[in-house]
Amino acid sequence: MIKLIAFLATLILCTLSSLSAADLAFAGIFTDHAVLQRDVASHVWGWGDPNEKVTVAFAGQSKSVTADASGKWMVKLDPMSASAEGRDLIVQSSIKNRQAKIADVLVGDVWLCSGQSNMHFQLKSDQNAAKEISAANHPLLRYFTVEHNFDQKPCVNVAGAWKAVSPATAADCSAVAYYFGKDLTLKLCVPVGLVVSSVGGTRIESWMRSETLTATGQSGSLIEKWSKVSPEEFKKIATVYREFQRQRDEIYPQAVKAAKAKGAPVPSAPVMPKQRCHDCPSGLHNGMIAPLEAFSMRGAIWYQGESNSSQSASYEKLLPAMIADWRRVWGNEFPFLFVQLAPYKNTHPAFREAQLRIWQKTPHTAMVVTTDVGNAENIHPTQKQPVGSRLALAARSLSYGDKVEYSGPVFESIKIEGNRAVISFTHLGKGLMVQGDALKGFNSLKGFAMAAADGKFLSAHAVIEGDTVVITSEKIAKPIAVRYGWAMVPEGNLFNREGLPAVPFRTDASSTP
């Protein structure tokens, strides 16, 4: 019931007309235990009465402003250095005895953590949950989970609360975001804030501004479908689905537990509504991204694509457009780090290839490879620690200038030498290795296939020779192409010595999948 009330409150805040005379208050992203972005100007905003004069005070700074006709006020704090000292953030009205305060605010690095279910996947479901949660004493690591909200127009506020990571709070944090933030906090020794804005089962179109999506020329049928949905019908769809989520996530598990305790039959699970807003163009951008656009961030991590995985060509246009748009909105070329989809029985390798090309063509991005932590039968693999840690490596390299290798080997070129194909790589790190077997002297690689002029790919023998991989086949005298990990569920064991898996590839990329 509490979550439902919070959701309805967020819907109310999605129209400026609803923000009439009220108590002086900060925007929803500002709560106790918040983290503000260091080294840049920080906007702080909220609402009060129209034309009310307010003063915001924090860390020795004092900024005054007059609220606009809707009651919204906003100030810009001067850049601040990182600080682990919890301080009060106060807004004081010129009206006597009228103020609002949040406590224990830190200054550090803030990262937006967005996507669909594998980003939303909580630490309590991770394969190392019990051990990790019990040891999760990281007071400098904070997270804010944005309450789910879809809307047809950009909203002005979000619901949620900042939480300092501890054994009492860690379980509900996004597992990928948690491991990412944990590694950064331990390495940087500064506060890290994670703004988790993610919803399971959602398409990328939902996370993009409508004008940005339209400009790509993609998803025309989806845009047309939702353009016919009235505001009233849209809110009804969103409300019904939200109630289903509450029944599924809160009421039903309790009912199952109670039934088992009494030895009674387990009740039927709630039935998912036929209509959802999960593919509504811009629905999540409006509800869960737009209200955050004034909040300063260091960068973004992104784990999404499962709902678009059958449309690799379209995705190759959509994600770069979204990245560029988010950067325009936040006003800087912040690093954008994303996860290549893990092995799963329904994920075509062409989609992973599209993600690779996005990384290679989009400046200041990085891609994390997960071929070693997937699950053929489960689209939600439970090994999230490697994913978060690899994202942290990418952040250290792209955002903090650390001289660390953040990617596994990436195909660079092929050279045919008689019956041999010799593959060269970038991101070699300290050298190539066979996962788990290098110390045993075992040097045979899995996952390689080779083809002659007939285009028929056959499993091939592959070994590491220095900084290259040499591929041969007794059945192929004149090879012309090589593929590695080209499967729904790739089986490969090529890594660099930093322990990072090679990126799946094909040298015949111009051919059909």
Q: How does pLDDT run across 296-347, given as a tens digit for each residue?
A: 999 999 999 999 999 999 999 999 999 999 999 999 999 999 999 999 999 9
pLDDT digits (tens, 9 = 90+) for 226-258: 999 999 999 999 999 989 988 998 899 999 999
Average pLDDT of 206-221? 96
Burial of 74 (0-12, 13-18, 19+ CB in 10 A): middle
Domain boundaries, the chain: 410-506
On whether the CB atoms of residues 365 and 359 are closer than 8 A, the answer is yes
- Residue owning tokens 């007794």: 474
- Measured CA distances, 350 to 202, 488, 506 (Å): 20, 9, 10
Q: Rounded to an integer, what distance in angstroms lies between the CA atom of residue 306 and that of residue 115?
A: 10
Q: How does residue 510 score in pLDDT terms, banded at 50, 70 and 90?
A: low
Average pLDDT of 77-92? 98
- Measured CA distances, 320 to 60, 115, 303, 348, 423 (Å): 40, 15, 14, 20, 28
pLDDT of 482 above 70: yes
Average pLDDT of 479-484? 98
Q: Rounded to an integer, what distance in angstroms lies between the CA atom of residue 193 and that of residue 36?
A: 8
Q: Rounded to an integer, what distance in angstroms lies between the CA atom of residue 413 and that of residue 393?
A: 25
Q: Where are the beta strands (DSSP E) in 235-276?
A: none
Q: How does residue 104 score in pLDDT terms, banded at 50, 70 and 90?
A: very high
Residues in contact with 68: Cβ distance below 8 Å, sequence separation at least 6, in sequence order = 50, 51
Q: Which one, of 153, 120, 159, lies nearest residue 280 by Cα?
A: 153
pLDDT digits (tens, 9 = 90+) for 367-406: 999 999 999 999 999 999 999 999 999 999 999 999 999 9
Cα atoms in the Cβ-side hemisphere of radius 13 Å centred on 453: 2
**pLDDT score of 502:** 98
Compute the C-alpha angle 352/353/358, nearest 5°: 95
Q: Which one, of 388, 356, 386, 361, lies nearest residue 374 by Cα?
A: 386
Q: Rounded to an integer, what distance in angstroms lies between the CA atom of residue 163 and that of residue 142?
A: 5
pLDDT digits (tens, 9 = 90+) for 2-35: 444 444 444 445 544 344 446 899 999 999 999 9
Q: Rounded to an integer, what distance in angstroms lies between the CA atom of residue 421 and that of residue 308?
A: 34
On whether the CB atoms of residues 146 and 31 are closer than 8 A, the answer is no
Average pLDDT of 123-151? 97
pLDDT of 136 above 70: yes
Both tokens of 69, joined, read: 């006709």
**pLDDT score of 96:** 87
What percent of the chain is predicted at pLDDT more than 70? 94
pLDDT digits (tens, 9 = 90+) for 421-475: 999 999 999 999 999 754 555 568 999 999 999 999 999 999 999 999 999 999 9
**pLDDT score of 249:** 85
Q: Rounded to an integer, what distance in angstroms lies between the CA atom of residue 494 and that of residue 435?
A: 6
Burial letters 485-498, b for 16+ CB under 10 A, else e: bbbebbebbbbbeb
**pLDDT score of 79:** 98
Q: Which one, of 358, 384, 357, lies nearest residue 373 by Cα?
A: 384
**pLDDT score of 40:** 97
Both tokens of 399, joined, read: 């955002």
On whether the CB atoms of residues 160 and 110 are closer than 8 A, the answer is no
The structure's pTM equals 0.93
| C-alpha torsion 362→353→117→231, nearest 10 | 70
On whether the CB atoms of residues 406 and 366 are closer than 8 A, the answer is yes
The whole-chain average pLDDT of the chain stands at 93
Task: Give the chain's length.
Answer: 513
The neighbour count for residue 137, using CB atoms within 10 Å, is 11
Sequential DSSP letters for 342-409 = PP-TT--HHHHHHHHHHHHHSTTEEEE--TTS--TT-SS-S--HHHHHHHHHHHHHHTT------S--
**pLDDT score of 9:** 46
Is pLDDT larger for residue 53 or for residue 242? 53
What percent of the chain is predicted at pLDDT more than 90? 90
Residues in contact with 134: Cβ distance below 8 Å, sequence separation at least 6, in sequence order = 167
The neighbour count for residue 78, using CB atoms within 10 Å, is 11
**pLDDT score of 245:** 86
